Amino acid sequence: MFETDRLLIKPIESIHVNALYEIYMSNPDYVNLTEGTTDGEGSYTKEQMLRDLHIAELTGRQVMGIFKKMDQEMIGFLEYWEKADVDQMPWLGLLIIHKKYQGKGYGTEVTKGFLQWATSVGWPEVRIAVVKDLKDVVSFWQSFGFLPFAEKDKRFPSGMKQLVCMKYQCK
């Protein structure tokens, strides 16, 4: 799909399922926020993740692995829609970096690369939705030029959350 100085972003394959699950579960705050099940009632299983990936595929979402060029280790993943059902616009649905690789600039590098790629393929804009209470995450996206354009409520397994919808104008 695209690459950056240190990373390759490409489709995941069945051999990446265990790494994908490990990446997801390395972020227990996110799992708790969205699924409501990190160590209390219930749990988010690999089977549930596989179900979610299947649903993603059925709805046109693309799931890409984030791999270090140096050793091909998968350190994260992103999901996007070229044309989301809700408005036929491109959306970045999820960007997760393994906890042990956070704070090393990988999220910034992937985001810059993704936005350059989106611009190069002719997308007019990229949209995202962020849980409003996650002020640091909202600030992260604003640092790239994403601007709020709407708010909406969404039901997660963990309950209702208010989302800030933001968009980036490709140049």
Q: What is the 3-state secondary structure (H, E, C) of 24-81?
A: HHCCHHHHHHHHCCCCCCCCCCHHHHHHHHHHHHHCCEEEEEEEECCCCCEEEEEEEE
CATH topology for 2-169 is: Aminopeptidase (3.40.630)
Q: Is it the case that residue 150 has pLDDT exceeding 60?
A: yes
Percent of the chain with pLDDT over 70: 96
pLDDT digits (tens, 9 = 90+) for 94-114: 999 999 999 999 999 999 999
Read off the pLDDT of residues 33-51 as tens digits, 9 standing for 90 and up. 777 654 444 577 888 888 8
136: pLDDT strictly greater than 60: yes
pLDDT of 144 higher than 60: yes
User: Could you tell me the residue ranges of all domains in the chain?
Assistant: 2-169
Q: What is the pTM of this model?
A: 0.90
Confidence of residue 58 (pLDDT cuts 50, 70, 90): confident
* Least trusted range by pLDDT, from 26-35, 49-58, 157-166: 26-35
Find the range with the poorest average confidence among 63-67, 83-87, 156-160. 156-160
Report the share of the chain in percent with pLDDT over 90. Answer: 66
